Amino acid sequence: MPHIRGYETYPLPCRPAGGRQGNSPLPHCLLGLPGTTTSNGAFTVTGTSPTLGLPYLQPSQAQKHVTHNEALARLDAVTQLSIAALGPSSPPASPAEGDRFIVGPGATGDWAGRDQQIAIHRGGAWSFTPPLPGWVALLRDIGTLVRFDGNEWVPVHVNDAETLGINAQADTVNRLSVAAPATLLNHDGDDHRLTVNKAGTGDTASLLFQSGWSGRAEVGLAGEDAFAIRVSPDGSTWQTALRLDPDSGAASGSAVQQGPEDASPGRLMLAEHGVLRAQILGPVAQIGGQPAGAILERGQTTQGHFVKWADGTMICSRTVTVDVDSSAPQLFDYPAPMATPLAVHAGGIDPAQASTAAQRRALGTLPVWATATGWHIQLEAPIAAETLEVALLAYGLWI
């Protein structure tokens, strides 16, 4: 079995070109080239390369440079495949030397019948290379990669990649890493939703905001299923500024009132500790010494008018007719129950009623007392057979 220095042995009849041994070049048959071997061992290459269609040089071929240059031209056309445009169906008016295009469907003119092929403008003419499935080209005008799938050129999508770094280095933890002035997540016709999912209740699904790689704020589900906003001055000590209970939706945290008496600056007032428009007027009430109803309650009965405040204050008013010709007690009920009367007052209503001496005397000496249920008026002695319209006021507590 023959042997060539520097190569493995090969079976006959495959022999070095020209039948030489020793320092002969690697025989064509060992390169896997298509061809035939003559009876004396001479090997003749036939056809072209299977992938790029490059022509092979023949033994003792004349004008070898022609074949060689044709192969170089083909390599120049398809190597580092940067495409000027994808999809035109007719040649451009003024192509530059070496411009390459992917011919679109329904091609016309010099490109007719060359759909999806790679057209290169060289020496004032067009040459074409049919692509094979899997070829990738760069559309340099938009910086997008396209791939030939056997029928057409389609965008190259990154699928099932374990890591992806865009202008940055990704790692096993930060499997997607982006370094850019901004990141745009756009809709595809309708809605757009960004989902951050966690494995279980005790895990974390959040957005972390850092300054100099030190945490300053975190928003999301941090170790529980309640949505929270956490802040930190140094990245180590954290406080929950706002927490929303997942069951009730109620708010808590250092950013809201800690109780009805909490008036700390900058804190949000809870509804149960504040005053709403609907709570200004209405029935007043107290529970445990704290207001539990409206701020102000105003009412009217057949006995007069009353006003109650949330702090327990109460004012009653009533207009009555007093008999100034009697020294007997004259009693008038409050329009609403008063728990603790503190002060009462009586005064005239119509100045015209002070036209007589008896009326003026009665107003000047009209005594009035507060009782648990109303006003007590009693003249020292009858004055005259007349009556007097009197306005009564009472101040006290309704609790």
Rounded to a whole number of angstroms, the CA Rg of the chain reads 51
Per-residue pLDDT tens for 82-113? Answer: 898 888 999 999 999 989 999 999 999 999 99
Per-residue pLDDT tens for 203-239? Answer: 999 999 999 999 999 999 999 999 999 999 999 999 9
Per-residue pLDDT tens for 297-331? Answer: 999 999 999 999 999 999 999 999 999 999 999 99
Per-residue pLDDT tens for 149-199? Answer: 999 999 988 777 889 999 999 999 999 999 999 999 999 999 999 999 999
Mean pLDDT over residues 113-135, rounded? 92
- CATH 2.60.40.3940 positions along the chain are 296-397
Strand order in the sheet with 330-333: 330-333, 374-377, 368-370
Strand order in the sheet with 144-148: 82-83, 136-139, 144-148, 153-155
- The more confident residue out of 280 and 33 is 280
Residue 357: exposure state from Cβ atoms within 10 A (0-12, 13-18, ≥19): exposed
- The more confident residue out of 47 and 356 is 356
Picking from 162, 163, 85, 160, the residue whose alpha carbon sits closest to that of residue 119 is 85
Cα separation, 339 vs 304, in Å, equals 17
Q: Which pLDDT does position 262 carry in this prediction?
A: 82
Q: Is the pLDDT of residue 18 over 60?
A: no
Q: Is the pLDDT of residue 395 over 90?
A: yes
Query: Would the pTM count as exceeding 0.85?
Result: no
Q: Which pLDDT does position 12 carry in this prediction?
A: 37
- The more confident residue out of 328 and 56 is 328
Mean pLDDT estimate for the chain? 85
Q: Is the pLDDT of residue 356 over 50?
A: yes
CATH architecture assigned to 296-397: Sandwich (2.60)
Phi, psi of 300 (to 5 degrees): -145, 135
Q: Which pLDDT does position 251 carry in this prediction?
A: 93
Three-state DSSP state, 213: coil
Q: Are strands 296-301 and 304-309 parallel, antiparallel or unpaired?
A: antiparallel
Distance (Å) of CA 99 to CA 82, 96, 102: 9, 5, 10
